[in-house]
Amino acid sequence: MADVDGLKVAKNYHVNEPFAKNGGFHVKGMQDVDWGMKKRLSKIFQPESGHTVMLAFDHGYFMGSTAGLERLDLVIPPLMPYVDVLMGTRGAMRTCIPAENNKGIALRVSCGSSIVDEDLSHEVIGVSIEDAVRMDASCMAVQTFIGADGEKDSLENLCKTVDAGLKYNIPTMGVVAVGKQMERTSRFFKLATRILPELGAHIVKTYYCEDFEEIVSACPVPIVVAGGKKLPENEALTLCYKAISEGASGMDMGRNIFQSTHPEVMAQAVNMIVHKGATDKEAYEFYLDVSSQSK
Ligand code: R5P
């Protein structure tokens, strides 16, 4: 272990220089992965834009039924035309989502804590690699708890999932968790978003924060930004616009879509920013315009 006393603060992020090892493949850092993995990554990150819109509805795996997700079978299917990837548990997918869809599947494979516990940081791998193959997973999502009690176990979960996924060319998405007692500083996010790809994660899901361009620059794989708690629609679209403008490869939004007064219109507005280069203002105008017609 390196002696970290007197460590210099990292600062040379070269934010204006494009990622050097791109080799023409549209997903950052993935030039040298095998064909099957490229195929799955292309199901997630659309080759035309290089970006992705993920719809997160995995909240039930630790929160039970969440406002807006009481009926997954009714809420999720109408949103599917506007997103690229469905992020959820195998139980939710199998029971509530029609198999006849062509969306990517971000399969939640870690579990083990619930909101009944104050400390949510203790998880295990809850899905076998064989079942991820059966589910046709485009990637497997593992929660990681940097700086929390469950840090070591969660990083072990990540490494084991990466190893299992490599056997079948299924990418792993490392999810940066934020907890009540955990930091939400750019220093924390810089640490977490670098540790995960160094351990083999092919995608990192994290939160938007200040110095985001530096975070993207120092992370050698695509970053997908979490939506977080429900915001007014204009603020959620601004969050999305800032994240994409500053280098995120996509959004993974849950509550800001399914808790919106007009979820389908909101999903389309997010899609405009992520894939079509719309500004937050243009996307919000679209939202207001279309939602006023559907009242
Ligand atoms: C993240 O840790 C989990 O995947 C969440 O369930 C998901 O990110 C929640 O999405 P949102 O915060 O946008 O509702």
Domain harbouring 123, CATH code: 3.20.20.70
CA 86 vs CA 47, 92, 99: distances in Å: 18, 11, 12
Residue 180: per-residue pLDDT: 67
Cβ-in-10-Å burial (0-12, 13-18, 19+) of 172 comes to: buried
Asked about 205 being catalytic, the answer comes back as yes
Condensed to tens digits (0 to 9), the pLDDT of residues 8-46 reads: 777 899 999 999 998 889 999 999 999 999 999 999 999
Nearest atom of ligand 1 to the alpha carbon of 253: 13
CA 33 / ligand 1 centre spacing (Å): 27
pLDDT at 113 over 70: yes
Q: Are 183 and 147 in contact (CB under 8 A)?
A: yes
Domain ranges, residue 284: 24-293
Say if 242 falls within a structural domain: yes
Count of structural domains, the chain = 1
Say if 265 falls within a structural domain: yes
Residue 288: per-residue pLDDT: 98
Say if 254 falls within a structural domain: yes
Say if 223 falls within a structural domain: yes
pLDDT at 162 over 70: yes
pLDDT at 88 over 80: yes
The answer, yes or no, to whether any atom of ligand 1 lies below 6 A from the CB of 56, is yes
Say if 57 falls within a structural domain: yes
The answer, yes or no, to whether any atom of ligand 1 lies below 6 A from the CB of 88, is no
Q: pTM surpassing 0.75?
A: yes
Q: If pLDDT is split at 50, 70 and 90, which confidence band does 117 have?
A: confident
Residue 182: per-residue pLDDT: 66
Choose which residue among 58, 113, 157, 182 to substitute to test ligand 1 binding: the one with the highest number of ligand atoms within 8 A of its C-beta: 58
| Alpha carbon nearest to ligand 1 atom 6, residue | 59
Say if 1 falls within a structural domain: no
| Alpha carbon nearest to ligand 1 atom 10, residue | 254
CA 277 / ligand 1 centre spacing (Å): 24
Residue 4: per-residue pLDDT: 73
Give residues with Cβ within 8 angstroms of 204, minimum separation 6: 173, 174, 176, 193, 196, 197, 219, 221, 222, 223, 224
Residue 68: per-residue pLDDT: 93
| Alpha carbon nearest to ligand 1 atom 8, residue | 226
pLDDT at 295 over 80: no
Vertex 206 angle, CA 95 and 80, to 5°: 35
Residue 282: per-residue pLDDT: 98
In the set 28, 38, 190, 205, the catalytic residue is: 205
Condensed to tens digits (0 to 9), the pLDDT of residues 163-214 reads: 999 999 999 999 999 866 667 888 899 999 999 999 999 999 999 999 999 9
Region 4-10 average pLDDT = 75
| Alpha carbon nearest to ligand 1 atom 12, residue | 228
